[in-house]
């Protein structure tokens, strides 16, 4: 799970990782927030009304859901369960409290916290993308300050430095890929059969 303050560049990093690792599945969340011009329904989010979101929440259709800056965001449970049962690696991008809630349900989940190389970049990035009002940006920055306090509860910290002058891929995509690779070697990914075979070999 990739989490961290708004404006840290999570979306771009995850897009970069998914381009490199097509077998990785992304969990598309549902949200009540207004669609931004670049948002694609079913790819970035499932955009739903507040009534519809609440109906789904009542029917326990979300693995977790949270209010963030006045809007609701939730992880659809069925997709996550099906994808994990099918044996795929899954990536999702909930805000910090949602990430910690998912970790309680799936203790093997890996929590990655993303920060920009300078916190002052959060404000300039949010202002630069021109998708939020001044009040919305202020709300996001105040949530960011709270979110930073949760860093010690995460497994990894990735510092997302600005793009190099040649405009290539963000260097932190390499870091995310390295984490993904290392996680595959965790003992809990191996089954008893593998250990038995090793013992008998
Ligand atoms: P944005 O409006 O910028 O797309 O997202 C706002 C925040 O909500 C971001 O921190 C994003 O990671 C988080 N978010 C997106 N989907 C979910 C979700 O399903 N659950 C939770 N808890 N947070 C989410």
- For the chain, the structural domain boundaries read 2-186
**Helix (H) or strand (E) run with residue 11 in it:** helix 10-20
* Nearest protein CA to atom 17 of ligand 1, as residue: 94
152-196 tens-digit pLDDT = 999 999 999 977 666 678 899 999 999 999 999 999 888 899 999
Task: Provide CB contacts within 8 A for 9, sequence distance 6+.
Answer: 114, 116, 125, 160, 170, 172
Domain formed by 2-186, architecture: 3-Layer(aba) Sandwich (3.40)
pLDDT of residue 165: 62
Residue ranges lining ligand 1, Cβ < 6 Å? 6, 29, 33, 64, 66, 68, 73-75, 93-95, 98
pLDDT exceeds cutoff 80 at 35: yes
How far is the C-alpha of 68 from the C-alpha of 32, rounded, in Å?
Answer: 10
Which pLDDT band, with edges at 50, 70 and 90, does 144 fall under?
very high
Please choose from 2, 26, 96, 98 the residue to mutate so as to test ligand 1's pocket, defined by most ligand atoms within 8 A of CB.
Answer: 98
Q: Average pLDDT, whole number, for the chain?
A: 93
């Amino acid at each position: 799970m990739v989490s961290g303050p708004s404006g840290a560049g999570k979306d771009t990093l995850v897009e970069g990782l998914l381009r490199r690792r097509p077998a990785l599945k992304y969990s598309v969340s549902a949200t009540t927030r207004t669609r931004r011009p670049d948002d694609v329904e079913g790819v970035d989010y499932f955009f739903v009304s507040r009534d519809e979101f609440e109906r789904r929440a009542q029917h326990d259709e979300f693995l977790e859901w949270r209010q963030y800056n006045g809007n609701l965001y939730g992880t659809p449970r069925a997709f996550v369960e099906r994808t994990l049962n099918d044996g795929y690696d899954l990536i999702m991008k909930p805000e910090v409290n949602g990430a910690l809630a998912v970790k309680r349900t799936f203790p093997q989940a890996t929590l990655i916290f993303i920060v920009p190389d300078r916190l002052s970049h959060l404000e300039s990035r949010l202002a630069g993308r021109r998708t939020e009002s001044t009040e919305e940006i202020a709300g996001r920055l105040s949530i960011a300050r709270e979110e930073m306090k949760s860093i010690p509860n995460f497994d990894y910290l990735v510092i997302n430095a600005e793009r190099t002058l040649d405009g290539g891929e963000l260097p932190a995509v390499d870091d995310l890929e390295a984490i993904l690779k290392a996680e595959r070697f965790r003992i809990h990914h191996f089954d008893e059969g593998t250990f038995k075979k090793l013992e008998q070999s």
